[in-house]
Amino acid sequence: MQTPHRQHLGRLGERLAAAHFARLGFSVLAQNHHTRFGELDLVLSDGRTLVFCEVKTRRLGSGEPLESLHGAKQSQVRRIAAHWLSEPSDRPWHEELRFDAIGVLVDRDDGLVRLDHIENAF
Amino acid sequence: MIARVSTFAVDGVTSRRVWVEADIRSKGLPAFTVVGLADKAVREARERVRAALQNSGFVFPGGRITVNLAPADLRKIGPGFDLPLALALLVAGGELEADELAGCAVIGELALNGELRAVRGTLAIAEGARRHGLRRILLPCGVAAEAALVPELEVLAAATLEEAVDFVRGDAEPPVPADLAPEPLAGAAPLDLADVRGHNGLIPALEVAAAGGHNLYLHGPPGTGKTMLARRLPSILPPMTAGEAIEVTRISSVGGLHHGGGLAVERPFRAPHHTISASGLVGGGAHPTPGEATLAHHGVLFLDELSEFARPSLEALRQPLEDGHVTIVRGQKVMAFPTRFMLVAASNPCPCGLGGDDCTCSAADLGRHHRRLSGPLLDRIDVLVAVGRPAAGALRDEQAPSSAAVRERVVAARERQADRLAAHGLTCNAQMPARLLREHAEATPSALRLLYELHDRHRLSARGHGRVLRVARTLADLDESSTVGPEHITLAAALRLEAAALAAAA
């Protein structure tokens, strides 16, 4: 499965993404939420909009982060989101629902190089 | 940024203009979509184009890429859209100026390393470019000589994607297409009639068939030389005219048979196996493609073991034989292909092949065999030749005249026909419709009397009647006679009536 090294990179990206969302006024409802279909990276809310965010992290020189967010992955995220919403816990009601994508590029020393945030990505 | 590149799609044996439009948006998830009724090979172009661009040292543009192939109602098939797609991306990505590609048609398949691969139907595409008033065409150098056949069209022949971009920018001079023509394939030495031993009696019949473009039927026991004779027929047919050569080149290129050099010089000789389907023979498929009958246009279609062909395949040949073209209707698509070929059929006298007294076939076998051969197809064959077993002595000593000598007479006879028929757009006697036949046959009164007598005695069909007269006209042409005399009628009837007798026997 995931090597500790890759897991570390993924968690780093998610932390950076969450910090970015915090600056936009969003609060994290769930992080790395596991379901039988897979994992939701981030679920956030600003009170009005519910955001499911898929975070892709790459180290400098190994390609574009968002390139690997292909159609199959997109529909997987949608499926997990539906599953999350239908879980019997008390989900807050929101006017809007959105799927975002965040691509994080970091250098060898874990320093942030670039963060692309695409709203309504899919 | 949006870009538009002009290319062409092969449609039957012609081409239609297609626009490759590329749009790159920096917003949104990276994606690369191709729309516009593209088939699998075109959608796979995405991966080839991506690899080829990166391996040629270009930046593959990031962002959301949408490529549209217009007009959206035309089905786009094949890998020829790779190069226009790559260039459209370069223009949309700002690496290439849009006006540098104005007035230029682009076609070619890409290898992953950026090399350009030849595509089918180059001549049809180049003609399309000319028709639409484009000045230049950019294509793989393997097919440059073919595109250069079209006048007033500048050919930019590139070996790689990088080179293609240089030519478009004007940074490098493209090579002269004529230098790029590959060496003609070193095939087998041309077949010559002089190889045939012991069949001198049959040469005049072959000569008549070649001179008038008449359909020919050879029948006889196996191993007597039917196939050998048929294969040598193209060597005594007159050389192609410039117009015919262009047509043959265009069709063989669309069929993927052309080696990419300049003009085709030899008449096509197609010998499909007897298991061929009807659509394989006359053309077909969901996107109709030419069949063997069209690939044999202006040449010879040889059906060996005629009685083994499936009935539907043979029946399908009737319209092409009669009209010189075939109309294929599939779904929403109607397409017409030219099929002016000379039919040469060969068959054993019976399924076991021994014929006559040695035959071991059952009556049912014989009946089936004759039913296959009989009827409307045989009625369209003018010259029937029985190929017998030559005597041992003849096999050793008797050598047929060389193809060159026979061809000389054939060419002279064709010239006489052409003088007569050029005004009607025809080239040989076999193509004459009944009206022209009455006008041009000019039979002497005694010849006509003989013909009517034959008509009454042998129950010739009306078409058979015309066919006898047509072959007689060819015989007169070979005799350099302007009128058809009784001797020509007698000979023509002898070549024809045996066919009628065979049909009657079935």
Q: What is the pLDDT of residues B79-104, one digit of tens each?
A: 899 999 999 999 998 888 888 898 99
Rg of chain A in Å (alpha carbons): 14
Cα–Cα distance between A102 and A51 in angstroms, integer?
A: 12
Token pair, residue B58, equals 């270009």
What residues 28-57 of chain B have any CB closer than 8 A to a CB of chain A? 28-30
- Confidence at residue B296, expressed as pLDDT on a 0 to 100 scale: 93
Asked whether the beta carbons of B474 and B208 are under 8 A apart, the reply is yes
Predicted TM-score (pTM) of this structure:
0.82
The pLDDT tens digits for B390-432 are 778 778 777 888 888 899 999 999 999 988 888 888 888 888 8
For A122, nearest residue in chain B (alpha carbons):
B29
Cα–Cα distance between A14 and A11 in angstroms, integer?
A: 5
Q: A95 to chain B, minimum CA–CA distance in Å?
A: 23
CA angle B284–B288–B293, rounded 5-degree value? 55
For residue B176, the Cα-to-chain-centroid distance in whole angstroms is: 28
Cα–Cα distance between B280 and B288 in angstroms, integer?
A: 10
Q: Which residue has the higher pLDDT, B177 or A38?
A: A38
3-state DSSP helix/strand/coil percent for chain B, to nearest 5? 45, 20, 35
Helices (H), B354-485: 363-373, 376-379, 392-397, 403-421, 434-440, 445-458, 462-478
- CB spacing of B28 vs A69 below 8 angstroms: no
Cα–Cα distance between B443 and B333 in angstroms, integer?
A: 45
The yes-or-no verdict on residue B375 having pLDDT over 70 is no
Strand order in A27-35's β-sheet? A27-35, A38-45, A49-59, A96-106, A112-118
- CB spacing of A69 vs B27 below 8 angstroms: no
Strands B14-25 and B325-330, by their bridges, are unpaired
- CB spacing of B30 vs A121 below 8 angstroms: no
Contacts of B65 in chain A (CB under 8 A): none
For chain A, list residues whose CB is within 8 angstroms of any CB belonging to chain B.
64, 66-67, 69, 74, 101, 118, 121-122
Whether ipTM tops 0.85, in short, is no
Amino acid at B63: G
Substitution target in A67, A68, A114, A117 with the highest count of B β-carbons within 10 Å is A67
- Most confidently predicted of A39-48, A101-110, B49-58: B49-58
The yes-or-no verdict on residue A54 having pLDDT over 80 is yes
Contacts of B62 in chain A (CB under 8 A): 64
Cα–Cα distance between B429 and B477 in angstroms, integer?
A: 10
- CB spacing of A118 vs B30 below 8 angstroms: no
Contacts of B28 in chain A (CB under 8 A): 118, 121
B305: left (phi over 0), alpha (psi -120 to 50) or beta: left
Which residues, 6+ apart, have CB-to-CB distance to B98 below 8 Å? B3, B4, B91
Q: B33 to chain A, minimum CA–CA distance in Å?
A: 11
Strands B216-219 and B383-386, by their bridges, are parallel
Cα–Cα distance between A68 and B30 in angstroms, integer?
A: 9
Cα–Cα distance between B350 and B352 in angstroms, integer?
A: 6
- CB spacing of B30 vs A66 below 8 angstroms: yes
Question: Longest Cα pair distance anywhere in chain A, in angstroms?
Answer: 43
